[in-house]
Chain A
Amino acid sequence: MIKSEEELTWKDLEVGCVVSDAGNARQYKTGDWRSLRPICDKTKCIKCGVCYIFCPDMAIRKTDEGYFEADLYYCKGCGICAQECITSCITMVEEEE
Protein backbone atom coordinates (compact mmCIF):
# COMPACT_ATOMS: atom_id res chain seq x y z
CA MET A 1 0.00 0.00 0.00
CA ILE A 2 1.31 3.43 -0.93
CA LYS A 3 1.39 5.94 1.92
CA SER A 4 0.24 9.49 1.40
CA GLU A 5 2.80 12.26 1.89
CA GLU A 6 1.34 13.03 5.31
CA GLU A 7 2.03 9.46 6.48
CA LEU A 8 5.60 9.15 5.17
CA THR A 9 8.30 9.00 7.85
CA TRP A 10 11.96 9.82 7.16
CA LYS A 11 12.66 6.10 6.97
CA ASP A 12 10.24 5.70 4.08
CA LEU A 13 12.07 8.15 1.83
CA GLU A 14 14.27 6.89 -0.97
CA VAL A 15 18.00 7.66 -0.78
CA GLY A 16 18.51 11.26 -1.90
CA CYS A 17 14.72 11.68 -2.14
CA VAL A 18 14.69 10.45 -5.72
CA VAL A 19 11.33 9.98 -7.39
CA SER A 20 11.47 6.48 -8.82
CA ASP A 21 7.98 6.20 -10.33
CA ALA A 22 7.96 8.31 -13.46
CA GLY A 23 5.06 10.69 -13.99
CA ASN A 24 3.84 10.77 -10.41
CA ALA A 25 3.39 14.56 -10.58
CA ARG A 26 -0.05 13.58 -11.91
CA GLN A 27 -1.03 12.70 -8.35
CA TYR A 28 -0.15 16.15 -7.13
CA LYS A 29 -3.28 18.10 -6.28
CA THR A 30 -2.92 21.77 -7.15
CA GLY A 31 -6.67 22.42 -7.13
CA ASP A 32 -6.58 23.40 -3.47
CA TRP A 33 -4.49 26.48 -4.28
CA ARG A 34 -7.58 27.95 -6.00
CA SER A 35 -9.54 30.91 -4.65
CA LEU A 36 -11.49 31.56 -7.86
CA ARG A 37 -13.24 28.90 -9.92
CA PRO A 38 -13.97 29.10 -13.68
CA ILE A 39 -17.67 28.70 -14.58
CA CYS A 40 -18.63 28.19 -18.21
CA ASP A 41 -21.91 29.46 -19.67
CA LYS A 42 -22.62 26.74 -22.27
CA THR A 43 -25.18 28.89 -24.07
CA LYS A 44 -22.37 31.26 -25.12
CA CYS A 45 -19.62 28.67 -25.65
CA ILE A 46 -18.69 28.07 -29.31
CA LYS A 47 -16.40 25.10 -28.49
CA CYS A 48 -13.40 26.85 -30.02
CA GLY A 49 -10.90 25.47 -27.47
CA VAL A 50 -9.02 28.75 -26.90
CA CYS A 51 -9.27 28.13 -23.12
CA TYR A 52 -7.80 24.64 -23.63
CA ILE A 53 -4.86 26.08 -25.59
CA PHE A 54 -4.09 28.87 -23.14
CA CYS A 55 -4.39 26.92 -19.88
CA PRO A 56 -0.81 26.88 -18.55
CA ASP A 57 -1.42 23.73 -16.50
CA MET A 58 -3.27 21.64 -19.10
CA ALA A 59 -6.11 21.53 -16.60
CA ILE A 60 -8.88 21.89 -19.19
CA ARG A 61 -10.42 18.80 -20.77
CA LYS A 62 -12.73 18.33 -23.73
CA THR A 63 -16.02 16.69 -22.78
CA ASP A 64 -17.99 14.17 -24.86
CA GLU A 65 -20.36 16.93 -26.02
CA GLY A 66 -17.39 18.94 -27.30
CA TYR A 67 -17.41 21.57 -24.54
CA PHE A 68 -14.29 22.42 -22.56
CA GLU A 69 -14.25 22.27 -18.76
CA ALA A 70 -11.67 22.75 -16.04
CA ASP A 71 -10.44 19.74 -14.10
CA LEU A 72 -10.81 21.11 -10.58
CA TYR A 73 -8.25 18.59 -9.17
CA TYR A 74 -5.56 20.61 -10.97
CA CYS A 75 -7.09 24.03 -11.81
CA LYS A 76 -5.35 26.73 -9.74
CA GLY A 77 -7.90 29.36 -10.67
CA CYS A 78 -5.49 31.68 -12.47
CA GLY A 79 -8.25 33.04 -14.72
CA ILE A 80 -6.29 32.98 -17.98
CA CYS A 81 -9.09 30.97 -19.61
CA ALA A 82 -11.63 33.63 -18.66
CA GLN A 83 -9.36 36.40 -19.92
CA GLU A 84 -8.75 34.70 -23.29
CA CYS A 85 -12.30 33.36 -23.94
CA ILE A 86 -13.56 34.89 -27.23
CA THR A 87 -17.25 34.95 -26.29
CA SER A 88 -16.64 35.77 -22.58
CA CYS A 89 -18.52 32.62 -21.59
CA ILE A 90 -16.11 31.90 -18.71
CA THR A 91 -16.45 33.83 -15.47
CA MET A 92 -14.38 33.43 -12.34
CA VAL A 93 -16.43 33.04 -9.16
CA GLU A 94 -15.25 33.02 -5.54
CA GLU A 95 -14.78 29.58 -4.00
CA GLU A 96 -17.35 29.21 -1.23
CA GLU A 97 -14.92 27.68 1.25
Chain B
Amino acid sequence: MGERVGIEVSLAASEAIKMANVDVVAAYPITPQTHIVEHLSQLVADGELDAEFIPVESEHSAMSVCCGSSAVGARTFTCTSSQGLALMNEIVFIAASLRLPIVMLLANRSLSGPLSIWNDHSDVMSIRDCGWIQVFAENGQEVFDHVLFAFRVAEDAKVSLPVIVNIDGFVLTHMIEPLEFWDEDTVKKYLPDFKPVNQLHPDKPITMGAFGMPIIFTEAKKAQDEALIKSKTEILKAWKELGDLVGRYYQPVETNHLEGADTVFLTMGSIGETVSLAVNELRSRGKAVGQVKLRLWRPFPFEELREAVKGVKRIIVIDRAISFGGPGGPVASEIRAALYKERTMPAITNFICGLAGRDVTPDDYIKMYEKTEKMTKKKVREEDYIIYGVRE
Protein backbone atom coordinates (compact mmCIF):
# COMPACT_ATOMS: atom_id res chain seq x y z
CA MET B 1 0.00 0.00 0.00
CA GLY B 2 1.05 3.60 -0.49
CA GLU B 3 2.44 5.98 2.08
CA ARG B 4 0.48 7.92 4.67
CA VAL B 5 1.01 11.68 4.48
CA GLY B 6 -0.33 14.82 6.13
CA ILE B 7 -1.62 17.03 3.32
CA GLU B 8 -4.32 19.57 2.51
CA VAL B 9 -7.24 17.73 0.95
CA SER B 10 -7.24 19.96 -2.18
CA LEU B 11 -3.61 19.12 -2.84
CA ALA B 12 -4.24 15.44 -2.21
CA ALA B 13 -7.12 15.55 -4.69
CA SER B 14 -4.81 17.13 -7.29
CA GLU B 15 -2.21 14.44 -6.66
CA ALA B 16 -4.89 11.79 -7.20
CA ILE B 17 -5.82 13.46 -10.48
CA LYS B 18 -2.15 13.38 -11.45
CA MET B 19 -2.00 9.67 -10.58
CA ALA B 20 -5.03 9.14 -12.80
CA ASN B 21 -2.81 10.52 -15.58
CA VAL B 22 -5.45 12.93 -16.80
CA ASP B 23 -5.01 14.35 -20.33
CA VAL B 24 -6.94 17.61 -20.13
CA VAL B 25 -7.80 19.92 -17.24
CA ALA B 26 -10.08 22.84 -18.10
CA ALA B 27 -11.15 24.92 -15.15
CA TYR B 28 -11.63 28.45 -13.88
CA PRO B 29 -10.55 29.24 -10.32
CA ILE B 30 -13.31 29.92 -7.79
CA THR B 31 -13.28 29.78 -4.00
CA PRO B 32 -13.17 27.21 -2.36
CA GLN B 33 -12.05 25.04 -5.28
CA THR B 34 -9.02 27.26 -6.05
CA HIS B 35 -6.25 25.21 -4.47
CA ILE B 36 -7.12 22.17 -6.58
CA VAL B 37 -6.87 24.08 -9.84
CA GLU B 38 -3.78 26.03 -8.74
CA HIS B 39 -1.96 22.86 -7.79
CA LEU B 40 -2.88 21.10 -11.04
CA SER B 41 -1.65 24.11 -12.97
CA GLN B 42 1.62 23.92 -11.04
CA LEU B 43 2.00 20.19 -11.68
CA VAL B 44 1.56 20.74 -15.42
CA ALA B 45 3.92 23.75 -15.46
CA ASP B 46 6.58 21.78 -13.58
CA GLY B 47 6.34 18.90 -16.04
CA GLU B 48 5.15 16.50 -13.36
CA LEU B 49 1.84 15.95 -15.12
CA ASP B 50 1.79 15.54 -18.90
CA ALA B 51 -1.58 17.17 -19.56
CA GLU B 52 -3.09 20.18 -21.28
CA PHE B 53 -4.10 22.73 -18.67
CA ILE B 54 -6.58 25.07 -20.33
CA PRO B 55 -7.13 28.29 -18.35
CA VAL B 56 -10.52 29.16 -19.77
CA GLU B 57 -12.26 32.54 -19.42
CA SER B 58 -15.37 31.17 -17.66
CA GLU B 59 -16.92 28.00 -16.31
CA HIS B 60 -19.25 27.86 -19.31
CA SER B 61 -16.11 27.56 -21.43
CA ALA B 62 -14.56 25.11 -18.97
CA MET B 63 -17.37 22.62 -19.39
CA SER B 64 -17.48 23.26 -23.16
CA VAL B 65 -13.77 22.45 -23.42
CA CYS B 66 -14.33 19.34 -21.30
CA CYS B 67 -17.03 18.13 -23.70
CA GLY B 68 -14.73 18.65 -26.68
CA SER B 69 -11.73 16.97 -25.13
CA SER B 70 -13.71 14.04 -23.76
CA ALA B 71 -15.37 13.61 -27.16
CA VAL B 72 -11.99 13.11 -28.88
CA GLY B 73 -11.03 10.53 -26.27
CA ALA B 74 -8.97 12.49 -23.75
CA ARG B 75 -9.27 11.76 -20.03
CA THR B 76 -10.84 15.00 -18.82
CA PHE B 77 -11.15 16.74 -15.49
CA THR B 78 -12.74 19.94 -14.22
CA CYS B 79 -13.51 21.42 -10.87
CA THR B 80 -15.79 24.19 -9.68
CA SER B 81 -18.03 25.61 -6.94
CA SER B 82 -21.31 27.47 -6.53
CA GLN B 83 -21.57 30.36 -9.04
CA GLY B 84 -19.12 28.55 -11.29
CA LEU B 85 -21.40 25.53 -11.47
CA ALA B 86 -24.35 27.85 -12.08
CA LEU B 87 -22.50 29.40 -15.02
CA MET B 88 -21.60 26.03 -16.56
CA ASN B 89 -25.14 24.71 -16.00
CA GLU B 90 -26.13 24.63 -19.68
CA ILE B 91 -23.21 22.41 -20.70
CA VAL B 92 -23.41 20.19 -17.60
CA PHE B 93 -26.68 18.75 -18.92
CA ILE B 94 -25.24 18.34 -22.42
CA ALA B 95 -22.21 16.40 -21.12
CA ALA B 96 -24.52 13.81 -19.58
CA SER B 97 -26.78 13.47 -22.61
CA LEU B 98 -23.74 13.04 -24.85
CA ARG B 99 -22.53 10.36 -22.39
CA LEU B 100 -19.11 11.98 -22.01
CA PRO B 101 -17.17 10.52 -19.04
CA ILE B 102 -15.90 13.81 -17.59
CA VAL B 103 -14.94 13.91 -13.91
CA MET B 104 -15.77 16.96 -11.81
CA LEU B 105 -14.85 17.75 -8.25
CA LEU B 106 -17.48 20.06 -6.84
CA ALA B 107 -16.23 22.00 -3.81
CA ASN B 108 -19.70 22.59 -2.40
CA ARG B 109 -20.49 26.23 -1.65
CA SER B 110 -23.70 28.20 -1.22
CA LEU B 111 -25.29 29.95 -4.17
CA SER B 112 -25.53 33.74 -4.06
CA GLY B 113 -27.18 35.76 -2.58
CA PRO B 114 -26.40 37.13 -0.18
CA LEU B 115 -22.97 36.59 -1.65
CA SER B 116 -21.18 33.93 0.33
CA ILE B 117 -18.14 31.76 -0.21
CA TRP B 118 -18.98 29.22 2.50
CA ASN B 119 -20.09 25.65 2.43
CA ASP B 120 -23.54 24.16 1.92
CA HIS B 121 -25.21 21.98 -0.72
CA SER B 122 -27.29 24.52 -2.63
CA ASP B 123 -24.97 24.37 -5.64
CA VAL B 124 -25.24 20.63 -6.27
CA MET B 125 -28.97 20.62 -5.56
CA SER B 126 -29.45 23.15 -8.38
CA ILE B 127 -28.26 20.49 -10.86
CA ARG B 128 -29.79 17.50 -9.16
CA ASP B 129 -31.41 16.34 -12.39
CA CYS B 130 -28.45 16.89 -14.71
CA GLY B 131 -27.92 13.18 -15.38
CA TRP B 132 -24.42 12.88 -13.89
CA ILE B 133 -23.45 10.20 -11.38
CA GLN B 134 -23.17 12.08 -8.08
CA VAL B 135 -21.35 10.92 -4.96
CA PHE B 136 -20.45 12.58 -1.67
CA ALA B 137 -17.18 12.30 0.24
CA GLU B 138 -16.95 12.66 3.99
CA ASN B 139 -13.21 13.16 4.58
CA GLY B 140 -9.92 13.64 2.77
CA GLN B 141 -9.24 9.96 2.27
CA GLU B 142 -12.62 9.50 0.66
CA VAL B 143 -11.91 12.43 -1.66
CA PHE B 144 -8.62 10.85 -2.76
CA ASP B 145 -10.18 7.43 -3.28
CA HIS B 146 -13.17 8.85 -5.10
CA VAL B 147 -11.13 10.78 -7.65
CA LEU B 148 -9.80 7.45 -8.92
CA PHE B 149 -13.18 5.78 -8.46
CA ALA B 150 -14.82 8.55 -10.52
CA PHE B 151 -12.57 8.03 -13.56
CA ARG B 152 -12.93 4.28 -13.27
CA VAL B 153 -16.74 4.38 -13.24
CA ALA B 154 -17.21 7.25 -15.71
CA GLU B 155 -15.04 5.65 -18.39
CA ASP B 156 -16.40 2.12 -17.95
CA ALA B 157 -17.81 1.27 -21.38
CA LYS B 158 -21.01 0.00 -19.73
CA VAL B 159 -21.46 3.38 -18.02
CA SER B 160 -19.95 6.18 -20.12
CA LEU B 161 -21.40 8.95 -17.98
CA PRO B 162 -19.87 11.97 -16.26
CA VAL B 163 -19.29 11.85 -12.49
CA ILE B 164 -19.43 14.58 -9.84
CA VAL B 165 -17.59 14.00 -6.57
CA ASN B 166 -19.00 16.40 -3.97
CA ILE B 167 -16.58 17.66 -1.38
CA ASP B 168 -17.61 20.22 1.20
CA GLY B 169 -15.91 23.56 0.60
CA PHE B 170 -13.34 24.59 3.25
CA VAL B 171 -14.50 21.89 5.68
CA LEU B 172 -12.81 19.38 3.37
CA THR B 173 -10.98 21.35 0.69
CA HIS B 174 -8.86 23.39 3.10
CA MET B 175 -8.36 20.78 5.80
CA ILE B 176 -4.98 19.18 6.39
CA GLU B 177 -5.55 15.50 7.06
CA PRO B 178 -3.46 12.36 7.33
CA LEU B 179 -4.31 10.20 4.35
CA GLU B 180 -2.98 7.28 2.47
CA PHE B 181 -1.78 7.71 -1.11
CA TRP B 182 -2.11 4.79 -3.49
CA ASP B 183 1.03 3.44 -5.10
CA GLU B 184 1.29 3.55 -8.87
CA ASP B 185 0.80 -0.17 -9.39
CA THR B 186 -2.49 -0.06 -7.50
CA VAL B 187 -3.68 2.86 -9.63
CA LYS B 188 -2.72 0.96 -12.79
CA LYS B 189 -4.59 -2.12 -11.63
CA TYR B 190 -7.68 -0.13 -10.75
CA LEU B 191 -7.85 2.36 -13.61
CA PRO B 192 -7.38 1.00 -17.14
CA ASP B 193 -6.63 3.28 -20.11
CA PHE B 194 -9.55 5.31 -21.37
CA LYS B 195 -11.23 3.68 -24.39
CA PRO B 196 -14.14 5.92 -25.37
CA VAL B 197 -17.43 4.38 -26.48
CA ASN B 198 -17.81 7.13 -29.06
CA GLN B 199 -14.92 9.17 -30.36
CA LEU B 200 -14.64 12.11 -32.70
CA HIS B 201 -12.01 10.94 -35.16
CA PRO B 202 -11.42 11.83 -38.83
CA ASP B 203 -11.04 8.15 -39.77
CA LYS B 204 -14.60 7.38 -38.70
CA PRO B 205 -16.71 10.51 -38.73
CA ILE B 206 -19.72 10.70 -36.40
CA THR B 207 -22.04 13.46 -35.28
CA MET B 208 -22.44 14.24 -31.59
CA GLY B 209 -25.17 16.51 -30.28
CA ALA B 210 -27.51 16.25 -33.25
CA PHE B 211 -31.01 17.70 -33.26
CA GLY B 212 -33.69 15.40 -31.83
CA MET B 213 -37.22 15.77 -33.17
CA PRO B 214 -40.25 15.04 -30.96
CA ILE B 215 -40.45 11.61 -32.62
CA ILE B 216 -37.13 10.56 -31.01
CA PHE B 217 -36.62 12.85 -27.97
CA THR B 218 -38.62 10.75 -25.49
CA GLU B 219 -36.69 7.60 -26.47
CA ALA B 220 -33.40 9.51 -26.07
CA LYS B 221 -34.34 10.56 -22.52
CA LYS B 222 -35.50 7.04 -21.59
CA ALA B 223 -32.16 5.64 -22.79
CA GLN B 224 -30.33 8.23 -20.69
CA ASP B 225 -32.41 7.43 -17.60
CA GLU B 226 -31.77 3.70 -18.01
CA ALA B 227 -28.04 4.30 -18.44
CA LEU B 228 -27.86 6.21 -15.15
CA ILE B 229 -29.97 3.64 -13.26
CA LYS B 230 -27.90 0.74 -14.64
CA SER B 231 -24.62 2.45 -13.82
CA LYS B 232 -25.17 1.33 -10.23
CA THR B 233 -23.99 -2.19 -11.06
CA GLU B 234 -20.59 -0.88 -12.20
CA ILE B 235 -20.49 1.59 -9.31
CA LEU B 236 -20.85 -1.28 -6.83
CA LYS B 237 -18.24 -3.30 -8.70
CA ALA B 238 -15.81 -0.37 -8.69
CA TRP B 239 -16.28 0.16 -4.93
CA LYS B 240 -15.78 -3.56 -4.28
CA GLU B 241 -12.56 -3.63 -6.28
CA LEU B 242 -11.37 -0.46 -4.58
CA GLY B 243 -11.96 -2.14 -1.24
CA ASP B 244 -10.07 -5.27 -2.31
CA LEU B 245 -7.10 -3.14 -3.37
CA VAL B 246 -6.85 -0.56 -0.57
CA GLY B 247 -9.00 -2.02 2.19
CA ARG B 248 -11.67 0.68 2.32
CA TYR B 249 -15.07 -0.66 1.30
CA TYR B 250 -17.58 2.01 0.29
CA GLN B 251 -21.35 1.56 0.01
CA PRO B 252 -24.15 3.60 -1.60
CA VAL B 253 -25.74 3.90 1.85
CA GLU B 254 -23.53 3.56 4.92
CA THR B 255 -24.68 3.04 8.48
CA ASN B 256 -23.44 3.60 11.98
CA HIS B 257 -24.91 2.27 15.25
CA LEU B 258 -28.02 0.88 13.58
CA GLU B 259 -28.35 -1.99 16.11
CA GLY B 260 -31.75 -1.60 17.72
CA ALA B 261 -32.01 2.02 16.62
CA ASP B 262 -35.53 3.50 16.59
CA THR B 263 -34.33 6.93 15.44
CA VAL B 264 -31.64 7.60 12.83
CA PHE B 265 -29.97 10.71 11.50
CA LEU B 266 -29.60 10.82 7.72
CA THR B 267 -26.73 12.91 6.38
CA MET B 268 -24.69 13.56 3.24
CA GLY B 269 -21.10 14.77 3.09
CA SER B 270 -18.70 15.90 5.79
CA ILE B 271 -21.32 16.50 8.51
CA GLY B 272 -21.60 12.72 8.76
CA GLU B 273 -18.54 12.74 11.01
CA THR B 274 -19.97 15.45 13.28
CA VAL B 275 -23.26 13.60 13.56
CA SER B 276 -21.42 10.38 14.46
CA LEU B 277 -20.02 12.16 17.56
CA ALA B 278 -23.57 13.18 18.53
CA VAL B 279 -24.74 9.60 17.96
CA ASN B 280 -21.97 8.25 20.23
CA GLU B 281 -22.97 10.71 22.96
CA LEU B 282 -26.69 9.88 22.65
CA ARG B 283 -25.90 6.15 22.73
CA SER B 284 -23.92 6.67 25.93
CA ARG B 285 -27.06 8.25 27.38
CA GLY B 286 -28.99 5.13 26.47
CA LYS B 287 -30.84 6.52 23.45
CA ALA B 288 -31.48 4.10 20.59
CA VAL B 289 -30.02 6.41 17.96
CA GLY B 290 -28.17 5.49 14.79
CA GLN B 291 -27.01 7.09 11.60
CA VAL B 292 -27.48 6.57 7.88
CA LYS B 293 -25.20 8.28 5.38
CA LEU B 294 -26.00 8.67 1.71
CA ARG B 295 -22.83 8.37 -0.32
CA LEU B 296 -24.52 7.81 -3.67
CA TRP B 297 -26.97 10.58 -4.59
CA ARG B 298 -27.44 9.68 -8.26
CA PRO B 299 -28.45 7.08 -9.24
CA PHE B 300 -30.49 7.18 -6.02
CA PRO B 301 -29.93 4.00 -3.96
CA PHE B 302 -33.58 3.10 -3.29
CA GLU B 303 -33.08 -0.54 -2.28
CA GLU B 304 -30.12 0.14 -0.02
CA LEU B 305 -31.94 2.99 1.71
CA ARG B 306 -35.08 0.90 2.32
CA GLU B 307 -32.94 -1.92 3.68
CA ALA B 308 -30.98 0.42 5.96
CA VAL B 309 -34.02 2.01 7.62
CA LYS B 310 -36.08 -1.17 7.95
CA GLY B 311 -37.65 -1.18 11.44
CA VAL B 312 -36.62 2.41 12.15
CA LYS B 313 -39.45 4.53 13.59
CA ARG B 314 -38.08 7.99 12.86
CA ILE B 315 -35.56 9.51 10.49
CA ILE B 316 -34.05 12.92 11.18
CA VAL B 317 -33.00 14.13 7.75
CA ILE B 318 -30.37 16.85 7.71
CA ASP B 319 -30.48 19.13 4.68
CA ARG B 320 -27.86 21.67 3.69
CA ALA B 321 -30.06 23.51 1.17
CA ILE B 322 -33.53 25.05 0.98
CA SER B 323 -36.16 24.36 -1.65
CA PHE B 324 -37.89 27.74 -1.45
CA GLY B 325 -41.63 27.37 -1.15
CA GLY B 326 -41.27 23.61 -1.46
CA PRO B 327 -42.03 20.57 0.71
CA GLY B 328 -38.73 20.58 2.62
CA GLY B 329 -35.03 20.25 1.99
CA PRO B 330 -34.17 18.39 -1.23
CA VAL B 331 -32.80 15.35 0.60
CA ALA B 332 -35.84 15.02 2.88
CA SER B 333 -38.19 15.29 -0.11
CA GLU B 334 -36.42 12.40 -1.79
CA ILE B 335 -36.28 10.28 1.36
CA ARG B 336 -40.03 10.77 1.85
CA ALA B 337 -40.65 9.84 -1.79
CA ALA B 338 -38.36 6.82 -1.62
CA LEU B 339 -40.13 5.42 1.45
CA TYR B 340 -43.69 6.39 0.57
CA LYS B 341 -44.61 2.93 -0.71
CA GLU B 342 -43.19 1.10 2.31
CA ARG B 343 -45.72 -0.77 4.44
CA THR B 344 -44.48 0.87 7.62
CA MET B 345 -43.11 4.24 6.76
CA PRO B 346 -40.94 5.90 9.41
CA ALA B 347 -41.83 9.42 10.52
CA ILE B 348 -39.52 11.97 8.98
CA THR B 349 -38.29 15.16 10.66
CA ASN B 350 -36.38 17.52 8.43
CA PHE B 351 -33.85 20.00 9.77
CA ILE B 352 -32.23 22.46 7.42
CA CYS B 353 -28.94 23.63 8.90
CA GLY B 354 -25.35 24.53 8.18
CA LEU B 355 -26.29 27.00 5.47
CA ALA B 356 -23.33 28.91 4.02
CA GLY B 357 -20.84 27.56 6.50
CA ARG B 358 -22.70 28.20 9.75
CA ASP B 359 -21.16 25.81 12.25
CA VAL B 360 -23.30 22.93 13.45
CA THR B 361 -21.68 21.11 16.35
CA PRO B 362 -22.41 17.69 17.87
CA ASP B 363 -24.35 19.56 20.59
CA ASP B 364 -26.64 21.02 17.95
CA TYR B 365 -27.45 17.56 16.63
CA ILE B 366 -28.20 16.42 20.17
CA LYS B 367 -30.60 19.37 20.48
CA MET B 368 -32.24 18.38 17.20
CA TYR B 369 -32.68 14.87 18.56
CA GLU B 370 -34.20 16.19 21.80
CA LYS B 371 -36.57 18.49 19.91
CA THR B 372 -37.63 15.56 17.74
CA GLU B 373 -38.14 13.33 20.81
CA LYS B 374 -40.37 15.98 22.38
CA MET B 375 -42.47 16.31 19.22
CA THR B 376 -42.83 12.53 19.01
CA LYS B 377 -44.09 12.34 22.59
CA LYS B 378 -46.56 15.21 22.11
CA LYS B 379 -47.76 13.61 18.87
CA VAL B 380 -47.98 17.05 17.24
CA ARG B 381 -48.38 17.37 13.55
CA GLU B 382 -44.93 18.44 12.52
CA GLU B 383 -43.86 21.18 10.21
CA ASP B 384 -42.58 19.89 6.88
CA TYR B 385 -39.17 21.32 7.71
CA ILE B 386 -37.47 23.24 10.46
CA ILE B 387 -34.69 25.73 9.77
CA TYR B 388 -32.46 24.93 12.72
CA GLY B 389 -30.93 27.75 14.73
CA VAL B 390 -32.59 30.59 12.83
CA ARG B 391 -33.04 33.68 15.05
CA GLU B 392 -36.73 34.41 15.37
Contact = CB atoms under 8 A, between A and B. Distances in A.
Overall SS of chain B's interface: loop
Contact of B197 (A6, A11, A15): A15
A6 B219 CA distance: 11
A13 interface: yes
Give the interface size bracket for A toward B: 10 to 19
B207 interface: yes
Contacts, number: 53
Interface string A5-35: 1101111111111111010000000000000
Contacts of B222: 10
Interface in B50-99: 97-99
Give the interface size bracket for B toward A: 20 to 34
> Counting chain A CB atoms within 10 Å of each CB, which of B208, B216, B218 scores highest?
B216
Given A10-B226, A16-B198, A5 B207 contact: no
A12 B198 CA distance: 16
A50 to B, nearest CB: 30
Given A10-B223, A13-B223, A18 B208 contact: yes
Contacts of A5: 213, 215-216
Contacts of A14: 198
Interface of B: 97-100, 160, 197-198, 204-208, 210, 212-213, 215-216, 218-220, 222-223, 226-227
Interface of A: 5-6, 8-20, 22
22 contacts: A5-B215, A6-B215, A10-B218, A10-B219, A10-B223, A10-B226, A13-B220, A15-B99, A15-B197, A15-B227, A16-B97, A16-B98, A16-B160, A16-B198, A16-B208, A17-B97, A17-B210, A17-B220, A17-B223, A18-B206, A20-B206, A22-B206
